[in-house]
Amino acid sequence: MTTLDTTLKPGDLIRDEAEILAAGIELQHQGLELLLAEMRALAALMPGEESSLPTDAEIEAGFDNMPI
């Protein structure tokens, strides 16, 4: 009969904690993505708000105001 080595090493404990933290951060990220989608949808319904997002070129053009 073989015995299993059940002793945990410090690296194992840190790895387990890192996995739990990564899962928590991923869940927060998903929640924030959902919140952003809801905010954009509500902004599209508000009167007087522009519903289209600016393109990358339009955003970049706003920063190109430095003299040469």
At 6-63, the pLDDT tens digits run: 787 878 888 889 999 999 999 999 999 999 999 988 888 887 766 677 788 887 777 7
pLDDT at 34: 96
pLDDT at 68: 63
In this structure, what is the dihedral angle of CA atoms 48, 49, 52, 53, given to the nearest 10 degrees? 150
pTM: 0.50
pLDDT at 37: 94
Token pair for 24: 């928590």
